[in-house]
Structure 1
């Protein structure tokens, strides 16, 4: 499902118990310096990630100051975030004008809040210019935080250079059938550089049968409930997408690669190392 960009007035774009991706939650909050935003989600753990600007996050009587170092856009430095446990009240205070992503996943237990600073980010780069798959992943809640988070995975994905494919070879994660696959609902928010760039999100429900395609632009949100789902940026444009994964039975993601294209796993440098980082 494609949700075109719109002014959400700081209300959830993907709310709790969403029809398509009930395991995830997504909100974009825009604040001027000094403004505050309060929230509390029952049944969902969340992560507060400034796309731009700097915030202070107060949660469970703890204060996490000066979260976020980016200025102009999401390419302007590494991300930072604050983990907000299920059922915990959180207050976001803008230290500068800011745009904040709130990513969430369904989880019943209440854990302990913490900050993920830029130095804590797991960085993975794989693919190649020759295969048109060169990209970089910055895991905000990655493998290093596995024991501190319930079901939520949060990362930022960048194409390296202009144009190219991401999420290929095509994979899916819509059915719990370990050890081959896990069910993880997924939500993306896209940005392009320059911001008038665009791309394409494919969703192929069944191997070797026609699927759907969405024209994605700066600010597009895409919900992945089932099917194989590669995406691409037009030549000449850089693409970024904020990625939220919520697992049904476990946090670690087990992708099932599309049989038709699985042989290309051996042609793309570093891809199996990338797969191991979604834990």
Structure 2
């Protein structure tokens, strides 16, 4: 499902128990200097990630100061974040002129401890090649390094390297719990483009060897992946970013099932198997 950009007025874009992706939660909050935002999401663990600007975050009496360092856009530095346990109230305050904050969430039933993710705790991966039109880098915010601190939530930022190209290829899915071949993980994206008038295409093929859906994605588009194979691409001459939220049904580690039609392409894309191992 494609949700076109709109003024969400700091209210959830993908709310709890969403009919398409009930395992994930997503909100965008925009504040000016000195403004605060309070929230609590029952039944979901969440992660606060400033897209731009800097915030102070308070959770259960703990204060995490000066989270976030990007000024203009998501290409302007490395992400930072704060993990918020299930059902716990969090408050953050804008300490720069303005801020745009992503709140990612996944359904979970245990209360863990809050923590901050600084630049040094990120897990950075780059794979693909210009020749195969699959060159991209991934910044894992809640990834393998945080495996023992989080329940079901995976959060990352994905960037195309250079202009144009494909992401999420070879086509894969993760909509059915059938270990060891595949796990059920709902997924939600928010896209950005550089320059911001760029655009791309999100494919969603729900059945093998049958035509599927295609969405024209623009700066600020949100896409919910509930079922099917889902590669995406960006127009030549533009760079693409997407904030990625994965919520697992029975486990946190993601097991992707690659589409048999295109599985041979796994051998042509440098580093892709190492990339797959990072979604744990």
Tell me the TM-score range normalised by the shorter chain.
over 0.9
Partner residue, 2:215: 214
Match of 1:141 in 2: 142
What secondary structure sits across from 1:148 in the alignment? coil
Give the structure 2 partner of residue 17 of structure 1.
17
Q: How do 1:229-244 and structure 2 match up within 5 A?
A: 229-244=230-245
Structure 1: unaligned runs, 5 residues or longer: none
Cα distance in structure 2, aligned partners of 1:5 and 1:176: 32
Q: CA deviation at 1:57?
A: 0.6
TM-score normalised according to structure 1 size = 1.00
Which residue in the other structure is 1:195 paired with? Answer: 196
Post-superposition Cα deviations, 1:155-213, rounded to whole Å, max 9, x if no partner, equal: 00000000000000000000000000000000000000000000000000111110000
Partners in 2 of 1:142 and 1:224 — Cα distance? 19
- 2:38 is aligned to 38
Residue 69 (structure 1) aligns with: 69
Q: How much is the aligned-residue C-alpha RMSD, in angstroms? A: 0.3
1:214 Cα deviation from its structure 2 partner: 0.1
Within-5 A mapping of 1:81-120: 81-96=81-96, 97-120=98-121
Q: Give CA deviations for 1:10-39 in whole Å, capped at 9, x if unaligned.
A: 000000000000000000000001000000
1:119, CA displacement in angstroms? Answer: 1.1
Q: Which residue number corresponds to residue 164 of structure 1?
A: 165
Q: CA deviation at 1:77?
A: 0.4
Per the TM alignment, residue 87 of structure 1 is displaced from its structure 2 partner at its CA by 1.1
Provide runs of 4+ in structure 1 moved above 6 Å.
none
Corresponding position of 1:277: 278
Q: Structure 1 residue 154 and structure 2 residue 188: aligned?
A: no
TM-score normalized by the length of structure 2: 0.99
| Residues 19-62 of structure 1, C-alpha deviations (whole Å, 9 max, x = no match) | 00000000000000100000011100000000000001100110
Q: How does 1:256-275 map to 2 (within 5 A)?
A: 256-275=257-276
Which residue is equivalent to 2:60? 60
SS at 1:274 equivalent = helix
How many pairs align?
279
For the residue of structure 1 that corresponds to 2:215, the secondary structure is strand
Which residue number in structure 1 is paired with residue 29 of structure 2?
29
1:251 maps to 252
